[in-house]
Chain A
């Protein structure tokens, strides 16, 4: 649910990075934070455990410039990926406008990806969204590691909707901005349609 403030001429949209634990959601945001100019980004907040695992969420606000006289602001959130933080994930999905599903390409994480995608669909439904219609992109992260599943396998397992998908290596930044750009486009196209009513 985007928030449009005609008074201050602002459009605010919420994008959530979802995926299994340690797939690189926080790393995506950290790379975006590092590479965006200070004028375009706000402070990055990480509510993490002492071992730097996401406890509740990471948050990074971006201002990307104006469209038709409206300032565009995107609030990027990550969810905690570990299975037992499901209650927190549901809360963070509230009011989401677009989802980046971040998959871990390693063969050992195939099941975790599938479980997380199913969990995303359940939680979206619970928040009143149609998981087949919400703006979404998929990022296959960690492509630089050995023992990764093939793209065809990952596509077959995770991308039944055939949404835009990207290979990435978030630690080096490969694919990070391509993913972000794609989800922002989908969110704005959805906004143009006046939401998902």
Chain B
């Protein structure tokens, strides 16, 4: 898990996006984010304009990591679902394919039961796409082949 790069190409990205859009509608949710466990945003659907998505991704990963640590302390592998209830909006976080986190923000137009049901359905589809992305990454481990020292130096000018 800690070696090599995770590479997301156009077909898999589009597939993830399409699953998130469908999930958003089916769950009557406001926004859906897919984040990797290291805290990077992969894709989002819905009205994410008002959100600081970079911070959200980092904190969601921290949240899952911390509760995973708690789970280990009581002999559980991880707590795969977290639910945070707010006054207006709620957040549902779940682990997908062991390496990603699906974050759903919803309000009173939906319910935790509906979100949980739809997330379960979407998770199976997301898992297939992630497996395809990983297989494609294994076939071509990527890296930016043509990167030169001059390219790297240009970032600091």
Please tell me if the beta carbons of B5 and A195 are within 8 angstroms of each other in the complex: yes
How far is it, in angstroms, between the C-alpha of A64 and the C-alpha of B3 when the chains are bound?
24
Please tell me if the beta carbons of B147 and A43 are within 8 angstroms of each other in the complex: no
* One of B38-46, B105-113, B122-130 contacting the partner: B38-46
How far is it, in angstroms, between the C-alpha of A132 and the C-alpha of B146 when the chains are bound?
26
* One of A66-74, A108-116, A164-172 contacting the partner: A66-74
Please tell me if the beta carbons of B65 and A91 are within 8 angstroms of each other in the complex: yes
How far is it, in angstroms, between the C-alpha of A189 and the C-alpha of B147 when the chains are bound?
8
Please tell me if the beta carbons of A45 and B55 are within 8 angstroms of each other in the complex: yes
How far is it, in angstroms, between the C-alpha of A182 and the C-alpha of B68 when the chains are bound?
33
Q: Does B98 contact A (CB under 8 A)?
A: no
How far is it, in angstroms, between the C-alpha of A195 and the C-alpha of B141 when the chains are bound?
8
Question: What residues of chain B lie closer than 8 Å to A196, measured between beta carbons?
Answer: 3-4
Please tell me if the beta carbons of B55 and A59 are within 8 angstroms of each other in the complex: yes
CB < 8 Å neighbour of A67 from B36, B58, B62, B147: B147
Please tell me if the beta carbons of A43 and B52 are within 8 angstroms of each other in the complex: yes
Nearest CB to that of A185 among chain B residues? B152
Please tell me if the beta carbons of A4 and B7 are within 8 angstroms of each other in the complex: yes
Question: What residues of chain B lie closer than 8 Å to A68, measured between beta carbons?
Answer: 144, 146-147, 151
How far is it, in angstroms, between the C-alpha of A47 and the C-alpha of B39 when the chains are bound?
15
Please tell me if the beta carbons of B2 and A5 are within 8 angstroms of each other in the complex: no
Please tell me if the beta carbons of A70 and B2 are within 8 angstroms of each other in the complex: no
Within 8 A of B (CB), among A37-93: 42-43, 45, 47, 56-57, 59, 61, 64-65, 67-68, 70, 72, 75, 87-88, 91-92
Q: Does B74 contact A (CB under 8 A)?
A: no
Please tell me if the beta carbons of B14 and A7 are within 8 angstroms of each other in the complex: yes
* Per-residue interface assignment for chain B, residues 47 to 59, with 1 indicating a CB less than 8 Å from any chain A CB and 0 otherwise: 0000010110011
Please tell me if the beta carbons of A1 and B144 are within 8 angstroms of each other in the complex: no
How far is it, in angstroms, between the C-alpha of A184 and the C-alpha of B37 when the chains are bound?
21
Residue count of chain B within 8 Å CB distance of chain A: 40
Please tell me if the beta carbons of A194 and B37 are within 8 angstroms of each other in the complex: no
CB proximity of A116 to chain B, nearest CB, Å: 20
Please tell me if the beta carbons of B38 and A3 are within 8 angstroms of each other in the complex: yes
How far is it, in angstroms, between the C-alpha of A45 and the C-alpha of B62 when the chains are bound?
12
Within 8 A of B (CB), among A108-155: 127-129
Please tell me if the beta carbons of B141 and A94 are within 8 angstroms of each other in the complex: no
Please tell me if the beta carbons of A75 and B39 are within 8 angstroms of each other in the complex: yes
Please tell me if the beta carbons of A188 and B152 are within 8 angstroms of each other in the complex: yes
With contacts A5-B13, A127-B2 known, is A195 near B40, CB below 8 A? no
Q: Does A192 contact B (CB under 8 A)?
A: yes
Nearest CB to that of A65 among chain B residues? B155
Q: Which residues of A contact B (CB under 8 A)?
A: 1-8, 11-12, 14, 42-43, 45, 47, 56-57, 59, 61, 64-65, 67-68, 70, 72, 75, 87-88, 91-92, 94-96, 127-129, 181, 184-185, 188-189, 191-197
Nearest 6 CB-CB pairs, A to B?
A95-B38, A194-B143, A7-B13, A128-B2, A91-B65, A195-B4
CB<8 Å pairs between A and B, sample of 26: A4-B6, A6-B7, A7-B13, A43-B52, A45-B58, A56-B62, A56-B66, A67-B144, A68-B146, A68-B151, A75-B54, A88-B66, A91-B65, A92-B62, A95-B1, A95-B36, A95-B38, A128-B3, A129-B3, A188-B147, A191-B144, A192-B143, A192-B144, A194-B5, A195-B4, A195-B5
